């Protein structure tokens, strides 16, 4: 395929919502793995500000949140030369391709999306067309870059499936235009659960006390961990089914230190939950504090952030443009003459 011969590396695309605080779960499950991918793959990380508009946003807040998200990405160590980090809305082709793909997507399949059902129940006063067509914009994000692999959690699996269905439908009509994307399952990865309801995934859209934000200050981290739900048995034993709370704290420690569960248990079992929670807090703080310092440095450097933003936009646009030329031609839109 034309776009693929440009690079021998496989391409990875991920979209990140700019709203809400990125959490320790995002760091452990996504961000720090992204750093490990940057040499082996050709990676694009899009801050999906158009998707954010599917629910009402305060404009000034949204603009800040977008920049904050970009700064956190950079502060986590992602190299902006090796990776393309950019704002979705700054590459107009996302919206263009989404429109075209809308015409190849059925109302029926979109109404079966569980995220749409959940979100429309949550925002019953604003069930807009954007919310309905959200998965099509996501399909456009992915297909625009001839993406091979998409790192996603279980909650986005259905969206990747519909992306593949749309791509297949389009390819069947017009020949092989789009690359068929697949889910990327990271080699190392721990699922971080809510501190208050440890059977649910830690989520930035849940209440404050259920998650640790990447930018939470040390005293806040310590307080949230001290208040994390455990059980009454006071044993540091890994058993996610029967002791989800303490097991979650153990796997956070394990993920951040590389230590095994038996090893952690051998050191902390018998010393009480208080001591163990403090030790987990020490670990989390020692990982997040350097990221926060780097974040402060980067956020103060507006010129640098802007240069990353512009270069990301230009590099993403160049790839997107080639895809759009092809798609426009296939569906019969007038050729773009420069």
Q: Which of the residues 124 through 143 are near ligand TRP (CB under 6 A)?
A: 138, 141-142
Gap between the Cα atoms of 306 and 208, Å rounded: 30
Give the torsion sign (CA, 25, 185, 291, 60). negative
Q: Which of 97, 101, 78, 76 lies closest to 88 in space, CA to CA?
A: 97
Phi and psi of 86, rounded to 5°?
A: -155, 170
CB of 209 to ligand TRP, least distance (A): 22
Closest CB to ligand TRP among residues 20, 218: 20
Q: Which of the residues 155 through 194 are near ligand TRP (CB under 6 A)?
A: 156, 159
204 included as an active-site residue? yes
The H-or-E segment that residue 56 falls in is: none
Q: Does 287 bind ligand TRP (CB under 6 A)?
A: no
CB of 93 to ligand TRP, least distance (A): 14
201 included as an active-site residue? yes
Closest CB to ligand TRP among residues 13, 268: 13
The H-or-E segment that residue 149 falls in is: strand 149-151
| Catalytic choice (82, 204, 329, 330) | 204
CB of 144 to ligand TRP, least distance (A): 10
Closest CB to ligand TRP among residues 147, 248: 147
Gap between the Cα atoms of 15 and 20, Å rounded: 14
What are the CA-CA distances from residue 58 to residues 61, 63, 299 (Å)? 5, 9, 21
Q: Does 15 bind ligand TRP (CB under 6 A)?
A: yes
Q: Annotated active-site positions, please?
A: 119, 201, 204
**Interface with ligand TRP by CB under 6 A: which residues?**
13-15, 17, 48, 51, 138, 141-142, 150, 152, 156, 159
């Amino acid at each position: 395929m034309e776009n693929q011969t440009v690079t021998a590396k496989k391409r990875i695309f991920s979209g990140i919502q700019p709203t809400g605080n990125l959490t320790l779960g995002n760091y452990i499950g996504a961000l720090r793995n992204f750093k490990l991918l940057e040499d082996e793959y050709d990676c694009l990380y899009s801050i999906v500000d158009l998707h954010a508009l599917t629910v009402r946003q305060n404009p000034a807040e949204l603009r800040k949140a977008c920049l904050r998200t970009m700064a956190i990405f950079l502060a986590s160590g992602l190299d902006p030369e090796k990776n393309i980090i950019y704002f979705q809305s700054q590459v107009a082709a996302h919206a263009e391709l989404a429109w075209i793909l809308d015409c190849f997507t059925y109302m029926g399949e979109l109404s079966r999306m569980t995220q749409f059902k959940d979100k429309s129940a949550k925002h019953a006063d604003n069930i807009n067309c954007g919310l309905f067509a959200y998965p099509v914009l996501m399909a456009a994000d992915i297909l625009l870059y001839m993406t091979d692999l998409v790192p996603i959690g279980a909650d986005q699996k259905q969206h990747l499936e519909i992306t593949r269905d749309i791509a297949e439908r389009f390819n069947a009509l017009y020949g092989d235009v789009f690359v068929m994307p697949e889910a990327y399952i990271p080699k190392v990865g721990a699922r971080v659960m809510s501190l208050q309801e440890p059977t649910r995934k830690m989520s930035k859209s849940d209440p404050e006390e259920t998650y640790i934000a990447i930018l939470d200050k040390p005293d806040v981290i310590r307080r949230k961990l001290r208040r994390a739900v455990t059980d009454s048995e006071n044993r540091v034993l890994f058993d996610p089914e029967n002791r989800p709370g303490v097991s979650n704290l153990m796997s956070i420690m394990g993920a951040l230190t590389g230590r095994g569960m038996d090893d952690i248990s051998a050191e902390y079992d018998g010393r009480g939950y208080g001591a163990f929670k403090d030790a987990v807090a020490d670990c989390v703080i020692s990982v997040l504090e350097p990221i926060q310092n780097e974040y402060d440095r980067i956020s103060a450097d507006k010129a640098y952030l802007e240069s990353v933003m512009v270069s990301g936009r230009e590099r993403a646009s160049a790839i997107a443009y080639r895809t759009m030329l092809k798609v426009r031609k296939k569906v019969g839109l007038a050729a773009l003459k420069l």
